[in-house]
Amino acid sequence: MALALTAATFPTEAEQFDGIVLVDFWAEWCGPCKILGPVIDQLAIEFSADTQVKVAKVNIEEDGNDTLAERYGVMSIPNVKALYKGEVVGEIVGVRHPEAYLQLIAAAKAQIPAAA
């Protein structure tokens, strides 16, 4: 399962993480979000051993999470953003083939500076 983030946990789990965080911004009432949910959960399983990737979800309707959606410019959902140290390095809006999310993660990982 993907890590459920809130406004309280987002800074530590996403913005301060020294790797890529794939964040699915979603809501319970969103049909396409329900279609994408299992794909995101499968990605979380696939990348569970990868110390450079974290897969997470933010329910934009939970208390305080609307501020996260606003800060990250989420205008429609599902909205999946690849973050590196809190900065957006890639994005997919809507539901795509699972391969698109793998490509998003790969492209985002390619932007991580090599360890000195």
Catalytic residues: 30, 33
What's the CA gap between 44 and 55, in Å, rounded?
A: 5
Can you read off the two tokens belonging to residue 95? 């539901």
Strands (E), 6-76: 20-26, 53-59
C-beta of residue 82 within 8 angstroms of C-beta of residue 22 = yes
